């Protein structure tokens, strides 16, 4: 009797263990959602949704994916936290996604989880900000160095080669911040443009406003602010407005969203805004190719336009910095 009892306890124990293990298995891929015949699940790891530009990137991805019933995209927002983004990428991998799209907050901390996904055989599309090394399938983004250089050259021309400039940098642990800085410095090289104040505003409008308040307090004369994105340029403008100095300063930004930077240019708040395409629809086109077994280039470089008061009504001008011809 006792033996029988022990045998049944062991049996029940084994059943319980197997039931738990089954639960821990990654969820089966959805074959259909409603009338959609989902074939592939894409995980999209977005570093932050605090800026309009990133909301637009997600919308571009969603709109492009909606044209393809065989695709399902799951979005995760890391809320500007590299550790959270890392964990979210790992969650995607454990859930058995077919492809990862990632727009990483910072290069170094996000490189290992992206490489781990790639090493597991999951195709990875890196969008806009880069990771280190080459453990990804395809990078899609505009050339930030070229944009920075074009901004530098535009500023040289606008200031006739001479003036005091404030540079409000994007997060310098992210690659667009580094490239928009080096490109800009190349663009103003050999001129009498003097960068009198520079600070890392981490892509954030409130930080840019605070940094600009310091610049305004320290310097009586500022001719122009070069901010690495439009929220930064707008934050600087608000600081200048609050101290009644907005009319003496030209503000230049990057992104040129139709409902953000381009509006600022139309309103005369920004002297120029350089387009930074989100690459969202391109990412879906590339994802489809990868998932269908086609090969794709390792790098896809998107073009950029500059919008000024003079050219905005005709849709801006494509940028082509002088140095590019020498490359």
Q: How many CA within 13 A on the CB side of residue 299?
A: 8
CB closer to ligand FRU out of 41 and 278 = 278
Q: Which residues contact 62 (CB under 8 A, 6 or more apart)?
A: 73, 75
- The answer to whether residue 77 forms part of the interface with ligand FRU (CB under 6 A) is no
- Binding to ligand FRU, residues 197-216 (CB under 6 A): 203
Tell whether residue 129 is a contact of ligand FRU (CB under 6 A): yes
Minimal distance, residue 274 CB to ligand FRU, in Å:
9
Q: With binding defined as CB under 6 A, does residue 128 bind ligand FRU?
A: yes
Least Å distance, CB 135 to ligand FRU, is 20
Distance CA 278, CA 287 (A): 15
Q: How many residues bind ligand FRU (CB under 6 A)?
A: 14
Looking at the Cβ atoms of 53 and 184, the one nearer to ligand FRU is 53
CA distance 6 to 219: 84
Q: Which regions of 78-158 does DSSP assign to beta strands (E)?
A: 99-103, 124-127, 138-142
229 near ligand FRU, rule: CB under 6 A: yes
> Is 254 an interacting residue with respect to ligand FRU (CB under 6 A)?
yes
Phi, psi of 117 (to 5 degrees): -60, -45
Look at the block and give the residue holding tokens 């030209």. Answer: 250
What span, in angstroms and rounded, lies between the C-alpha atoms of 287 and 130? 17
Report the candidate in 310, 307, 305 with the shortest Cα–Cα distance to residue 320: 305
CB 13 within 8 A of CB 19: no
List the one residue from 176, 277, 279, 280 that touches ligand FRU (CB under 6 A): 176
275 sits near ligand FRU (criterion: CB under 6 A):
no
Which of the stretches 70-78, 115-123, 169-177, 213-221 binds ligand FRU when contact is defined by CB under 6 A?
A: 169-177
Q: Which is nearer to ligand FRU, 255 or 282 (CB)?
A: 255
Where in 30-69 is the site for ligand FRU (CB under 6 A)? 48, 51, 53-54
Under rule CB under 6 A, residue 139 binds ligand FRU? no
Which residues does 1 contact at the CB level (< 8 Å), separation at least 6? Answer: none
**Residues that bind ligand FRU in the complex, under the rule CB under 6 A:** 48, 51, 53-54, 128-129, 170, 174, 176, 203, 229, 254-255, 276
């Amino acid at each position: 009797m006792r033996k029988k009892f022990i045998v049944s306890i062991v049996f029940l124990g084994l059943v319980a263990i197997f039931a738990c293990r089954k639960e821990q298995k990654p969820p089966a891929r959805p074959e259909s959602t409603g009338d959609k015949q989902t074939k592939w699940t894409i995980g999209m790891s977005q570093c932050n949704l605090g800026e309009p530009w990133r909301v637009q990137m997600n919308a571009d991805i969603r709109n492009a994916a909606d044209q393809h019933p065989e695709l399902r995209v799951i979005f995760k927002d890391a809320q500007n936290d590299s550790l959270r983004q890392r964990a979210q990428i790992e969650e995607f991998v454990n859930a058995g996604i077919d492809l990862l799209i990632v727009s990483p907050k910072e290069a170094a901390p996000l490189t290992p989880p992206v490489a781990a996904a790639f090493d597991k055989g999951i195709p990875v599309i890196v969008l806009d900000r880069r990771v280190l090394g080459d453990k990804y399938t395809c990078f899609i983004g505009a050339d930030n160095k070229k944009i920075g250089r074009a901004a530098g050259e535009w500023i040289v021309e606008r200031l006739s080669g001479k003036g005091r400039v404030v540079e409000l940098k994007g997060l310098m642990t992210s690659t667009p911040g580094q490239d928009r800085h080096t490109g800009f410095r190349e663009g103003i090289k050999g001129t009498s443009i003097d960068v009198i104040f520079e600070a890392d505003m981490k892509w954030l409008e409130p930080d840019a406003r605070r940094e600009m308040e310091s610049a305004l307090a320290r310097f009586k004369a500022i001719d122009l602010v070069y901010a690495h994105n439009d929220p930064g340029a707008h934050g600087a403008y608000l600081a200048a407005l609050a101290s009644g100095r907005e009319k003496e300063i030209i503000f230049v930004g990057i992104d040129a969203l139709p409902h953000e930077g381009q509006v600022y240019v139309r309103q005369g708040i920004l002297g120029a805004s350089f387009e930074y395409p989100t690459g969202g629809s391109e990412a879906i086109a590339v994802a489809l190719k990868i998932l269908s077994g086609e090969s794709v280039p390792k790098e896809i470089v998107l073009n950029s336009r500059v919008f000024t008061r003079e050219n905005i009504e005709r849709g801006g001008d494509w940028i082509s910095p002088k140095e590019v011809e020498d490359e």
